[in-house]
Amino acid sequence: MKPVNVLKRNINKYLFRSLTALLFLFLLQTAAVAQQGLSPYQVSQLKDVGSALLSPDGEKVAYTVDVPRNPMKSNETPWTELYVFDLQTNQQLPFVTGEVNVHDVQWAPGGEAITFLARREGDEHTSLYRISLNGGEARKIYSFKTGIYNYDWSPGGDQLVFTAREPQDEAEDEEFPYEPEIYEENLTHHRAYVVTPANDNPEPKRLQVDGTIYQVNWSPTGSHIAVTRAPTPLVDDYYMNQKVRIVSAEDLSVTTEINNPGKLGEVSWSPDGERVAFIAGADRHDVIDGRLMVSSIDNGSFEQLLEGYEGMIEDISWISNETIRFVASRGVWKVYSEINYDGGGHHTLLDQQQGPILNSFSTNRGNRTAFVADAHNHPTELFVMKEGDKVPRRVTELNPELREIEFGNQEKVSYQARDGKEIQGVLVRPVNEDPNKRYPLVTVVHGGPEAHYDMGWLTHYSQPAQVLAARGVAVFFPNYRGSTGRGIEFLKSSQGDPAGKEFDDVVDGVDYLIEEGLVHKDRVGVTGGSYGGYATAWLSTKYSDRFAAGVMFVGISDKISKWGTSDISQELYLVHSLEYIWEDWDFYLERSPIYHVDEAETPLLIMHGKEDPRVDPGQSYEMYRHLKVRTDVPVRLVLYPGEGHGNSHASARYDYQLRLLRWMDHYLKGPGGNKPDDALDYKEGK
């Protein structure tokens, strides 16, 4: 028999080991719980692939990575770095990294080097750089009197076409201590120039194209340059009056005018230089550039392919003289397809209902293709596919920490609006959802309204889906009528009816989720930016009895003053309202949220960039003042100096996200009542 003290020691040792094991298990469980969903700070630190370009031989992909700043230390925009992925060795090679903003990446003719635009230390303006695939430092190969906006190489690689702001004669110094701003006068055009960079003191020659030039694309044969131009630098003209012009590379004069009727997107040459394909609006009143057009460069006539297509063309590329490949949105999914230039041979190569959401692509005649794509559980990454593959292969992982995160399930939802029209959307369910429980809901309304949500990554500073899901909140993204991705008929179905059936569709979607048993009807919030901010203001007033909290971002409150203070008044008329406000003052007043403020019961947080040119900050001032004077509803107005139509800087984004989350927590899950404190503890977001 062992002595009593020995038994006690053994028992104590056993208890210590058992308690240690239990403590270890508890810590593991705690760590696991901590990884359920994302924190606001984690969202602020996510990297993503911005662009990708396959090399001419299909062996490598040059791609850019957006690297965010730490919002606790710097209120800067992300850096953009340059990498190369070698498809033979499966290696990712950093080429230009650090405090740099690389853009407009191209393969130099021959594929032995990469060129890009950047403004680096010592540069007065954005300049053109070249870096060899063999390594070494990037070197500047051309700069202009003003910053280069974009460029393209001639097929031989000796000449360069580029756009830049037209140099201005320096005014004589005058001894006067003040200079006023003259609104929309003395605007500076972007012009297009051709230059031979290798020459000593190269003299650029201007293309004989009037107006402001946006895109420049040298034909594969070298004989012509395709450009897009608008009559003025005004944003309204960029949207509504941009046209394609074909220019002779010999004398730089216009040889062919292609007068597309509506909005204009990407332009792409056929390999033989006989045709251009471009993405454009079907007509003057088409809300988007989402239709595929093909034109011969001989006479400028063009034909719309896929007329009646229930989708939106987003990216195009020729793979032969006869065939065009494209990525298109269809509902909440994306497809990768091809079609002949005469409209025949249309078929789908990738139907992405089980794969990543494709955003853009680059291909070498279809043998190999690089995609920028995202998914429900990661932001944009680089994917590659070779001929014969059934699905693209992901080759980058910029945010490996996401593997440890437990996400809320994401799914497509379809429901009938009150008039019988089918409406689609995306639902993110709470993490570890209990099927017997009803949850708070945040409804996120997209802007535009020419936009839509898909089944890809939906967690950003202004729509923190997985952050909310981790907090036990369902998140609903409705694609109300007027959304893109479902064809021109659906897109135009909201024209002339602002805040009408389009926002009824949002309410009907909330009702659907309540009827399904997921959502607590008294704990529904709404948020959105721009037109989504308009929806938030409308649903927080006209439908106030349905929403317990609202967060309005760069939104519209007064349709009448909106028209007179926006920089897109012609777009508002041509593709949204189809009439001017003075044709029916009463109608536009009644479709303004301020008109319905007396009905407001929804606590509203309003946030706005102080330098917003699209939706003047006065829209938020108006909403705030009407609520303050006419109601007792809790309201707060937060302004972001230095920000425009959406926040672009790290600290401003982080601040916005924390304020949105606090407001929703307080009114959907917490005590409600008086406003939460206006001061933030930024460390809480970690």
Could you report the per-residue pLDDT of 422-442, keeping only the tens digit for each? Answer: 999 999 999 999 999 999 999
Could you report the per-residue pLDDT of 505-519, keeping only the tens digit for each? Answer: 999 999 999 999 999
Neighbouring CB atoms inside 10 A of 223's CB total: 15
Give the pLDDT mean for 311-318.
97
* Predicted confidence (pLDDT) at residue 32 exceeds the cutoff of 70: no
CB burial of residue 457 (10 Å; 0-12, 13-18, 19+): buried
* Spatial contact of 329 and 454, defined as CB atoms under 8 Å apart: yes
Question: In this predicted structure, what is the pLDDT of residue 22?
Answer: 35
* Spatial contact of 309 and 329, defined as CB atoms under 8 Å apart: no
Multiple choice CATH, 407-685, 3.40.50.300, 3.40.50.2300, 3.40.50.1820, 3.30.365.10: 3.40.50.1820
* Predicted confidence (pLDDT) at residue 340 exceeds the cutoff of 60: yes
Question: In this predicted structure, what is the pLDDT of residue 36?
Answer: 79
Triad 281, 270, 317: Cα angle to 5°:
60
Same fold yes or no, 144-167+188-301 and 407-685 = no
Closest among 585, 609, 605 to 595, alpha carbons compared: 585
Q: Specify whether domain 144-167+188-301 bears CATH 2.120.10.30.
A: yes
* Predicted confidence (pLDDT) at residue 613 exceeds the cutoff of 60: yes
Give the pLDDT mean for 105-126.
95
Identify the residue with better confidence: 276 or 355.
276
Query: What pLDDT band is residue 154 in, cutting at 50, 70 and 90?
Result: very high
236 φ, ψ (degrees, to nearest 5): -60, -40
Could you report the per-residue pLDDT of 221-265, keeping only the tens digit for each? Answer: 999 999 999 999 999 999 999 999 999 999 999 999 999 999 999
* Predicted confidence (pLDDT) at residue 12 exceeds the cutoff of 50: no
CA distance 104 to 126: 11
Per-domain residue ranges of the chain:
71-141, 144-167+188-301, 407-685
Query: What pLDDT band is residue 388 in, cutting at 50, 70 and 90?
Result: confident
* Predicted confidence (pLDDT) at residue 21 exceeds the cutoff of 80: no
pTM of the model: 0.92
**Tokens 């929309």 -> residue:** 184
Query: What pLDDT band is residue 348 in, cutting at 50, 70 and 90?
Result: very high
Give the pLDDT mean for 47-58.
96
